[in-house]
Amino acid sequence: MSFKFYPQLESVDCGPACLQMVLAHLGHRYSLSELKSLCNITRLGITLHDIINGAKKTGLDASPVKATVEQLEGVPLPAVLFWRQEHYVVLYSITQDKAGPVYNIADPAYGKIQLTQELFQKEWCKNEPKGFVLILHPSNKFGEFQPSKEHSDSNYAEVLKFGRDAVGKFKGKFAIAFFLFMLAMATGWVMPFLLQAIMDLGVTPKKLDIVLIILFAQLCLFVGNSVSDFYSSKFLMNISFNLGLKFLHDFLFKLIKLPISFFDIKLNTDLIQRVEDQDRLQGFLTYKLLSFSIAVLNLVAFSLIILYYNAILFLIFLVFTVVSIGWTMLFLEKRKILDYSRFSILAENKSNIYEMISGMPEIKLNNAQSAKLNRWQATQEKLNAVILNALNLNYYQIFGVTFFNKVKDLLIIALCAYFVINNKITIGVMMSVSYIIGQLARPVDQIVDFIRSAQDAKLSFDRMHEIQHKSDENIVSQPLPSDMVSGFCIDSMSFKYEGSYNKFVLNNLSICIPKGKTTAVVGTSGSGKTTLLKILLGFYYPQKGDVYIDNHKLSEINVNDWRGRCGVVMQDGYIFSGTISENIALADEVCDLLRLNKAIETACIGEFIGSLPMGINTKIGKSGIDLSGGQKQRILIARAVYKNPDFLFFDEATSSLDANNESKIMQNLTEFLHGKTVVIIAHRLSTVKNADQIIVLDKGTIIEAGHHDELISNRSSYFELVRNQLALGN
């Protein structure tokens, strides 16, 4: 039985893809998306432990061992190997040839490959005597586990259905374009008969008047063909343009609805790469699909005309056309693998370039130019190898098709000459057949190109399909209570980030955050302060316990409504490319100048803005002037104040400010924060000492809670934090 290969969709999918191949070999066809979910894959990749956990959830027993190359002879196959100390592949068989053992590898990034023992050992073990192998075999309850139908892989029928739905909005214009193309084609179908008539009725008997009449008819057909082709192409261009906008609109609107946890497991470059998939699918559903339909009609029409003239000529044409298409089909699987490889490596390559450009000052300060360039070059060389393989494959494919077409043309012309000499056909028929052969070259090429494009479109659709089928962040519609009575209540809450190797960041937290009061959260780095803040903002939901707003679970409240009433300053807050006013009034299309000036005044950034020639219209962000850390934080504080929210969350909001500016801003904020519910994360005593409640976190657990004087008098963890900061001694 041949081993079924499944490629990875992204650079971090190799582990689930290996598991998919092993399960398919055992008769259980899981989709890649379901296995990624079972393995808890993250943007950091996947560990052997993740694959083991995923395997157990499908009914497999998994045993990781270290083995030598020789010991693999006794390992039950297929098995998963840790490859090059950064990747996972499947070893599905070991065969023998004259030179020795041959190791058959299914690499989800490249496809099926055969390696000699020397090369296999180098790739698997590197410089070590042993490598890691994950032995997988069905457990006693394997039959009880079945793939979920909700995660089934897509097929070409789904791509076409998607295309039909997408083009449906433009079906009127599409129908007109198709009709005009049909009209243009019909004029082309008449041409062989006119050519025959010129030769047989005009040239051979030397009747100039008939030649002129037929030439005039050809001219009329040519003009009609050109006009139809012009307007049909114009309609199609309009459809393609609007379809492209629709795809990009739908993709971005879907992306912005996804939960923040989704972006924790996706590389930004992988998501940007999907924009190219939109373009590819757009081209396929307009130009390629219509060209294919026209090519099939032309192929059928011209084939029938050849059959009308001579059955033997038609048979030769049919045989070589089938051979040409069959030759193309031979390369489809390899092209599919190369496309996946190109996608994965291209995303990594773009990420490397982006990091080099963004982090250039840090690279120069650490004299890391050579290391970063070498890393980029290594990735670029892998990408070049994949692109070169694709070009070579395309060359062999085109060469074979061209060769078969040339042989077909020569055979048909030779037979036509033979038939003319033996008076079986006229010279006019021979000229018509020659014309048809020339016209048929394009439809065959278009069909071959469509086969390649259909495969590319299927791959692009799979990547889009994965995004579109993710659950939106706002799947609940319960509105936020208009008036909070008591505040937040955290009840026995525990939370960990995605990935089986991640430990619980917060453990069994229970505390109340009262309405209209200021609560400060302090603790050492890594104690879970920022994670707690993100949970309160609905970025994540706890695995155990719940967060309540009054008696309503936060997980059941419309998260957009909730965040709309919050002002937030995160320690890694983002400054967008745009003006200062656009960055402060981020959610407003038209800025409220009174609120803007109040926010600027509160954040103590008016003097800085006044020193700029363009004032609040000065461009900042990546496309504007550079800002210091303190200036960025004041812009972010102004953004939070501008919303005039009921709830404010500050995560190290003044950590980059000097003491004077921090003191002024805190004084300005005192009046603004009166009566509002505030949660502050900070290390500085000056920021938290006046809070109504101070929560002390240590390793995800609340170890103290109270107000400043009370906690100081306890002389416990909070006292130690303050003493270390202020060097109070005893």
* Predicted confidence (pLDDT) per residue in 273-323, tens digit: 777 777 777 777 777 777 787 788 888 888 888 888 888 888 888 888 788
Q: What are phi and psi of 690, to 5 degrees?
A: -95, 5
Task: Return the CATH fold of 154-309+427-473.
Answer: ABC transporter transmembrane region fold (1.20.1560)
Locate the DSSP E strands across 26-123.
Answer: 60-67, 79-83, 87-97, 100-107, 111-116
The SS3 of residue 474 is coil
CATH no., domain 487-728: 3.40.50.300
621 in Cβ contact with 578 (< 8 Å):
yes
pLDDT tens sequence across 508-557: 999 999 888 999 999 888 888 999 999 998 888 899 999 988 888 888 88
Q: C-alpha angle 534/540/546, rounded to 5°?
A: 95
Pairing of strands 619-620, 578-579: antiparallel
The 10 Å Cβ neighbour count of residue 68 is 13
pTM over the 0.75 mark: no
665 in Cβ contact with 676 (< 8 Å):
no
Q: How far apart are CA 381 and CA 149, in angstroms?
A: 40
58 in Cβ contact with 18 (< 8 Å):
no
Q: How far apart are CA 30 and CA 330, in angstroms?
A: 26
Percentage of the chain exceeding pLDDT 90: 18
Q: What is the mean pLDDT of the chain?
A: 82
Query: Where is pLDDT greater, at 379 or 241?
Result: 379
Predicted pLDDT of residue 157? 65
Q: How far apart are CA 43 and CA 401, in angstroms?
A: 42
In what side-by-side order are the strands of the sheet with 487-496? 504-514, 487-496, 544-549, 552-553
C-alpha dihedral sign at 542, 546, 550, 552: positive
Q: Does the structure show a pLDDT above 50 at 729? A: no
Residue ranges of the domains in the chain?
13-138, 154-309+427-473, 487-728
Q: Which two tokens stand for residue 429?
A: 């028929």
Q: What is the DSSP letter of 71?
A: G
Q: Which two tokens stand for residue 543?
A: 């695995």
Q: Give the residue among 150, 189, 173, 285 at the shortest CA–CA distance from 233.
A: 173
Q: What are phi and psi of 131, to 5 degrees?
A: -130, 165
Name the one residue in this structure whose structure tokens are 């629709």.
246
Q: Does the structure show a pLDDT above 90 at 448? A: no
Q: How far apart are CA 694 and CA 679, in angstroms?
A: 10
Q: Does the structure show a pLDDT above 60 at 152? A: no
- Residue 526 — left, alpha, or beta (φ > 0 → left; ψ -120 to 50 → alpha)? left
Predicted pLDDT of residue 597? 92
CATH no., domain 13-138: 3.90.70.10
Q: How far apart are CA 257 and CA 473, in angstroms?
A: 6
Q: How far apart are CA 33 and CA 74, in angstroms?
A: 32
Is there a cis peptide before residue 7, judged by omega within 30 degrees of 0? no
* 320 membership: H or E segment, kind and range: helix 311-329
pLDDT tens sequence across 562-581: 888 889 998 888 898 889 99
